[in-house]
A = this chain, B = another copy of it.
Amino acid sequence: MRDTAIIGIGHTKFGNAGDRTALELFSEAALNAVDDAGIGLNDIEALFQGAALIGFEEGQVMSAVFSAADLSLGEIPATRFEGACASASVAIRDAVMWVSSGAYEIVLAGGVEKALTMGTLFATRTFAMACHAQSESAAGITFPGVFAMAARLYAHRYGISLDKLREKMACVSVKNHAHGARNPVAHFYKKYENLRVEDVLNAKMVCDPLTLLDCCPFSDGAAAVVICDASTARKYTDTPVYILGTGQGTGRPLSKIEDMTKPTARVESARMAFKQAGLEPKDIKVAEIHDCFSIAEIIAIEALGFYDWGTAADATEDGQTDIGGKIPVNVSGGLMGKGHPIGATGASQICSIVEQMRGEAPRGNQVDPVPEYGITDTLGGDFGTLCNIILGRTRR
């Protein structure tokens, strides 16, 4: 199979898109990506789109079709993927396969969501459909509840008091919000640059022990990438970013998960991606991680192999996951600071890593030296779908 490369990225401002439709947002991101790649729309041979709840948001299913039409892409295959928050990552992983196999030379992939427009209350309720309907949604479980349980389990399992854990979790929020505040496309651009641990602790309690600032927002937004065969990438750009490995793992209902703090779907997904890339966690110098809640980032960087089980909360408090640390995590702001337009998030993560690898990250957020290898990590549902994509500045 052939190597693939990203030659174009496009992103809308995350936040409140008001009256603009999801299709309009996706087209903006797509056109930005096409422009960035320096290709024409008629070079695109297929469209892969992630969108999680667009039927509930604006009464539109089959959104990939109407995006293709909106972009005048002709009759090319246009496919919608739904894997909750991981929708775009799954779409991109699939796009990579189609180009790798030689079926297509150039494709467009990305995601979109108008999550904020649903209203935060309705978004939480609607989004709970990504839990297991029979055993979880029916019991009233929503995502803040799932991750509050995960935080309590983490504290219990590693003998950390809940108060201590809350302080460590707050460090995730402070870090990611600071990065987001410096990112012009972020939902919370300029808003939380100087957030303090005590601000997080004293914010409104959402689901004990998680306060509002332990939670990512729902956002409107879209992001897209242009993917091509690696051997032709330099025709289009001097800074192609290569896709070195992808992984996807699948979870199960909470009642059948042995330990929420050690999500097997993520362990398997990461194993697959690292194996394909021929890399190890220590090679990765920048990571965009699914920080839907502060505790989620801590759990994730352990499952990915950056830290031993039970040690990432301390490492975060120690600053190891900030810029200049051992492994800078969510230097774009992550879901917390940049925002979380559900079906777009995976594509946005890729855009942020590509910016880092081009040395074009927002002022103050660039990792130095420019990272050679990076990873994205997207979680759909309560550990239901995990997708990891490993990127590099050089081919294998």
Contacts and interface: CB of A to CB of B under 8 A. Distances in A.
Given A80-B82, A265-B75, A61 B250 contact: no
Interface of A: 1, 21, 23, 47, 52-53, 55-56, 58-62, 64-66, 68-69, 73-84, 90, 94, 97-98, 100-103, 129-130, 132-134, 137, 248-253, 256, 264-265, 267-269, 380-381, 384-385
Nearest to A250: B78
Given A53-B61, A59-B129, A129-B59, A97 B101 contact: yes
A75 B268 contact: yes
A52 B132 CA distance: 17
5 contacts: A62-B83, A66-B133, A66-B384, A69-B256, A75-B269
Number of copies: 2
Given A21-B134, A69-B250, A69-B253, A62 B80 contact: no
A312 to B, nearest CB: 21
Nearest to A138: B59
Given A75-B268, A80-B83, A82-B82, A52 B59 contact: no
Contact of A62 (B23, B79, B380): B380
Contacts of A265: 75
B248 A77 contact: yes
Given A82-B62, A133-B59, A384-B62, A1 B77 contact: no
Nearest to A125: B59
A226 to B, nearest CB: 18
A265 B76 CA distance: 8
A113 to B, nearest CB: 12
Contacts of A137: 59-60
A61 B77 contact: no
Nearest to A248: B77
A76 B250 contact: yes
Contact of A253 (B55, B66, B74, B100): B66
A63 to B, nearest CB: 9
Contact of A55 (B66, B79, B129, B249): B129
